[in-house]
Amino acid sequence: MLTADTNVWARALLEDDKAQAAKAKAALAQARSADGIFVPLLVLVELSWVLRSKWEREKVLETLDRVLRTRGVQVESTALARKAVDAARSGATGFAGHLIAEISFASGADEILTFDRGFARQPRVRRLR
């Protein structure tokens, strides 16, 4: 199993550099059919930020969801990532904020502090003023 850096996923998905996109797609396909690809949550967060700079929110969330469902791809804490994608679809907070909440609460945190007004609307998230 291998891990592909965020820039490899970004090139394959955005296709903004044709040569790198072709290499990235080939490498990801080969890894999926061999021993698989491990995707750390950090890569998903970075990828969501990169994609969001180019695409609309729903397309980003659909792409993340597709990554979670791809055969040969093992995402760190898939259940938490899926909850974050689903929550981001229904709220003002983005994927990263929801993932922070899911990981924090699953790890035993009682509350999250933030300066983000939108994020502070979530349960157990308190805005610092």
pLDDT for residue 93 is more than 90 = no
- Note whether 67 and 113 are same-domain residues: no
Does any domain span residue 100?
A: yes
Would you mind telling me the total number of residues written for the chain in this entry? 129
Answer yes or no: do 125 and 70 share one domain: no
Q: Which domain holds residue 123?
A: 92-129
pLDDT category, 99, cuts 50, 70, 90?
Answer: very high
**Contacts by 15-19, CB closer than 8 A, 24 or more apart:** 16/54
| Percent over 70 (pLDDT), the chain | 100
Assigned domain for 84 exists: no
List CB contacts of 111: < 8 A, sequence separation 6 or more: 124, 125, 126
- pTM (two decimals): 0.91
Specify the DSSP class assigned to residue 118: T
Whether 10 contacts 39, CB under 8 Å: no
d(CA 41, CA 54): 20
Average pLDDT over residues 26-55: 97
Q: What is the pLDDT of residues 58-92, one digit of tens each?
A: 999 999 999 999 999 999 999 999 999 999 998 77
Give residue 91's pLDDT.
76
Residue 33 has pLDDT above 90, yes or no: yes
